[in-house]
Structure formats: C-alpha cells, structure tokens
Amino acid sequence: MPNEKHPDVMDRLVSLCKRRGFIFQSSEIYGGTGSVWDYGPLGVELKKNIKDRWWHAMVRARDDIEGLDAAILMHPRVWEASGHVAGFVDPLVDCRNCKKRFRADDPRIKGEPGTPDAQCPSCGMKGTLSAPRQFNLMFKTYMGPVEDTASIVYLRPETAQGIYVNFVNVQQSTRQKIPFGIAQIGKAFRNEITPGNFIFRTREFEQMEMQFFVEPGTDMTWFEYWKEQRMQWHRGLGIDPARLRFHQHTPEELAHYARAAFDVQFDFGGTLGFQEIEGVHNRGDFDLSRHAEYSGKKLEYVDQPNNRRFTPYVVETSVGADRTTLAVLVNGYREESVPGESEGRTVLAIHPSLAPVKAGIFPLVKKDGMPEMAARIAADLRPHFPVFYDEAGAIGRRYRRQDEVGTPFCITVDGQSTSDNTVTIRDRDTLAQDRVSADQLRAALQERLAR
Ligand code: ATP
C-alpha cells in the first residue's frame, strides 16, 4: 500500500548520498560487497555527530553511566553463555531453481516452504523452495595460525556482551552504586539472510548500547524511565514526532528471559513504513546469571551498607547508529519549489547540530576583494565550526549545493561587505537573509546553532 504521508525517498537518497559523498557501496570498483557500505567525507561527519550526541546524552551529561570500549573479538564461551551459539538463528529456505535464499518468514513467500505449493518470490517457480533450516547469523573466524574448531572465534553480533563481562571491572574501578549504567558504541556483525534497504539492514553496522543495572523490583520503573528518555533523544535529533512511535513486543516476539520490551519505530515512508530503530528491553538477571554460571565467577553487586549481595537486573537501550543515520536522512530529505525561481531545490533539513558542514562561505563574485574577505572569514571560523569555502559558479547554485547536504547557513560576502564589514547569513530552511557585522559572525552562528 502506498504511504500517502511519507512517499518512498530511498532511491533518490541513495543517489544523493553517493553523488555528494555521504555513503558509497563497499568495494564498489569490484562490483560491491553484499550489504556493506562505506561512509564518505560527509557521511562520516553526520554519523559521528549522531554518535557524539548519544555519547553526550548517555555518558558525559550523567554521573550514573560509565563509558566502555570492549574488543570485538571475545572468548567463544561468551556466545554460549549469551545463547547466541544455540539461538541466534533465522530459518533459511533456498530456491533450487534460482538459487536465491530467503528467510522462511519472508511475507513474499506464498505457501509453506518445503511443500509443492510454495512459490519462490524471486523466480516464481512452485515447489522449488526447500524446507526451512536454522542458519546462525554470527560470523565465524579463527584466532591464531591453526584453523581448527578449538580456535573458532566470532565477530560480535552485538556490543552488549562486552558490557556484561566487564560489569564487575567497571563497578569496582569506578565505585558506582546501583542503579548505574555502562554504555558503549561499536561495530557489530550479523550474517543477515536478507539484508537491504540501503543502510537499514547491513552485515556490518554500529550499535550504541547502554545496560543499566538496577535492584530487582525497581526494574519496571527504570524501564519506563529509559523508554521515555530514549524517545526524547530521537525527538531531539529533529525527527518529526509524528514519524516516531513505540511498538510493544507481543508475547511471541518477546525473548524468553525478557520481562518487557518496546521498540522505538520510525516511519521510513514508502512500503518500508514504521520499522525499529531502537530496542528498550528489561532483561531481568538473565545475562549476569548466565555469565556467572558459564565463567564460574560471581557477578553480583555488594550492597555494603545493608550487608547483602544480589544479581542486578538489566534495562537495556540498544540503538543502531547506521539505522538512526538513515532515519535522520529520510526525515530531512525534501524536494521543493523555491518562490520566485523556476528551478526547485533538494534540501536535507537535518538538525544543525548534525549537519556535517555548519556554514558555506561565499564571495558573491570573484573580484573586488570579495574572495579575500570571504577566505579570511572562512579561516577565522574553521577552528570553531566545519565550514566550506566556495567561489565557483552562480551564487544560486552554490546555495543549492549546500542545501542538499544539509548546511544550515550560508555566509555571503557581497559588494557592501568590503565597504561596511557586514555579511549576509542565509538560513537553509526559511531562506531568510540577515545582514550582520563580520566581527559578530562567529557569535551569531553560535547563537543560531544552539537554538
Ligand atoms: P531487526 O528485528 O531489525 O533485525 P533486532 O531486533 O535484531 O533488529 P537488536 O538486536 O535489538 O535488533 O539490535 C538493536 C538495534 O541495532 C536495532 O534497533 C537496529 O537499530 C540495529 N541493528 C540490528 N541489526 C542491524 C543490521 N543488520 N543492520 C543495521 N542495524 C541493525
């Protein structure tokens, strides 16, 4: 069903991202790697700004959450304890005719895979789909020079386990009291059967995860608190609140150990519609208890004043950095007409704090001292904000090029500038142009960026 409110912008976004250096297909010159993407000069800045906002909100601005950067490669027993070796599986079916692979629950499959009636969604043949078999999504590799079963290690499919196994290290070294959390940002790898939709589902991605350790019995209060905090954070990125909603996990969706789980969903538009960008989970004491059992080490909290020890419950918030980047891009992408001009424009109306370039600096024309003055302004601002100096082509085109990469302000040095030391600031969203003194420019930009 077409999404009336939010049409599909994915194809145009993919092309903009490539053209302007946000996101490229990995190993493109060799024909690309399946569902792996590289962030170009503007993309790396955008994603970094999103990660910085998360790190600031979750770690720096709080005294009850500590940061961590655990290794990607972990002891293989970690993944037995976590349940990933046995249970991190998707049901896979193959088509004997076209050799394509699908998740058995792919809604495009008609009929029961493995039966003569089942129809392949790709080649349309009937009776060629195999019965489902379980496929583990973890990437395997070998540690050390010998490739045998004893040396198998996994690329982590989530960052959370690095936090659980360091619970005691972090708690004892920081002397945090419960409730407190541990947060980290890092790469995760999943050998997804059906990745796709650009950077929505990829095989290598980044997660921003926080595990909050609480006293049993207070877990649902903290769960509600974190649900709200995380929704606020997404709104703070400038995402339209009408495109965000909660989805409560149904009993079938809920992991067997989970006490409650909600997803934050964003409306990606088109046929994709509302999809998960973050999960907030009440995991009880499952993770710490399992690691205590498998490692033989006590993973408890010692409540000294009350002379007791217990295994904390965990409330987890888990958000994808890439999926959030995609949500920010989709939310901000607009094609619109410009009053009084025949040519329309493409705008990435992203929050100024996320914009890779904060200001474009342009001399109106390449003469009469304007380039020199504009270059001086760019050099003065550069230590404080990412700015982009451009003197080539018509001014309208230069504005358009900044609009489509989300630059919130354009500073123009014109004929008047060289005589009275003023410049104009053009606002990407309102198109309003204000004249300010060049000496006040930094403060004026700072004030606008803080709004
Ligand atoms: P999905 O149901 O979409 O596969 P999930 O429920 O398995 O996601 P979690 O394990 O809860 O996801 O991971 C937390 C977050 O990590 C997700 O909300 C998403 O933002 C991100 N994420 C998970 N898998 C991928 C992936 N393959 N590519 C990009 N981001 C991902």
Could you report the average pLDDT of every consecutive run of 10 residues in the chain (451 residues)? Answer: 79 97 97 93 98 98 98 97 94 93 90 94 94 94 88 96 98 97 98 90 97 98 98 98 97 90 97 96 97 97 95 98 98 90 90 97 96 97 97 94 98 97 97 96 94 80
Tell how strand 65-67 and strand 180-189 pair up: parallel
The helix/strand/coil state of 372 is helix
Cα angle for residues 324, 325, 328 (degrees, 5° grid):
85
Nearest CA to ligand 1 atom 3: 276
With the most atoms of ligand 1 within 8 angstroms of its CB, the residue from 82, 323, 328 to mutate is 323
Ligand 1 atom nearest the C-alpha of 203 is 27
Q: What Å distances lie between residue 66 and 56, 96, 158, 232, 344, CA to CA? A: 11, 51, 18, 21, 47
- E strands of 268-421, at which residues? 274-284, 301-303, 308-310, 313-320, 333-336, 345-348, 359-363, 387-389, 409-413
Spatial contact of 211 and 181, defined as CB atoms under 8 Å apart: yes
Q: How far is the CA of 221 from the centre of ligand 1 (A)?
A: 25
Residues lining ligand 1, CB < 6 A?
A: 158, 190, 192, 201-202, 205, 207, 276-279, 318-320, 322-323
Close Cβ partners of 127 (under 8 Å, ≥ 6 residues apart) = 115, 116, 117, 118
Q: How far is the CA of 191 from the centre of ligand 1 (A)?
A: 12
Q: How far is the CA of 446 from the centre of ligand 1 (A)?
A: 36
CA proximity to 212, closest of 294, 318, 323, 69? 318
The label of the residue with tokens 């959030």 reads 324
Q: How far is the CA of 318 from the centre of ligand 1 (A)?
A: 8
At 233 the pLDDT is 98
Nearest CA to ligand 1 atom 23: 320
- Structure tokens belonging to residue 367: 């003469």
Measured CA to CA, the distance from residue 186 to residue 206 in angstroms comes to 5
Helices (H) and strands (E) in the chain, counts: 13, 23
Spatial contact of 328 and 238, defined as CB atoms under 8 Å apart: yes
- Structure tokens belonging to residue 204: 């290598």
Angle between helix 219-236 and 41-55 (nearest 10): 140
Q: How far is the CA of 319 from the centre of ligand 1 (A)?
A: 7
pLDDT digits (tens, 9 = 90+) for 196-241: 899 999 999 999 999 999 999 999 999 999 999 999 999 999 999 9
At 313 the pLDDT is 98
Measured CA to CA, the distance from residue 361 to residue 363 in angstroms comes to 7
At 46 the pLDDT is 98
Spatial contact of 333 and 12, defined as CB atoms under 8 Å apart: yes
Q: How far is the CA of 158 from the centre of ligand 1 (A)?
A: 9
Long-range contacts of 289-293 (CB under 8 A, 24+ apart): 290/81, 290/82, 290/83, 291/78, 291/81, 291/82, 291/164, 291/165, 293/81
At 2 the pLDDT is 55
CA proximity to 269, closest of 6, 448, 78? 6
Burial of 271 (0-12, 13-18, 19+ CB in 10 A): exposed
At 1 the pLDDT is 52
The whole-angstrom distance between residue 193's C-alpha and the CA centroid of its chain comes to 20
Phi then psi for residue 176, to 5 deg, are -70, 145
Spatial contact of 154 and 140, defined as CB atoms under 8 Å apart: yes
CA proximity to 206, closest of 223, 189, 220? 189
With the most atoms of ligand 1 within 8 angstroms of its CB, the residue from 318, 322, 325, 328 to mutate is 318
Peptide bond before residue 179 is cis, with ω within 30 degrees of 0? yes
At 149 the pLDDT is 82
- E strands of 137-203, at which residues? 139-142, 152-155, 180-189
Nearest CA to ligand 1 atom 19: 320
Nearest CA to ligand 1 atom 20: 320
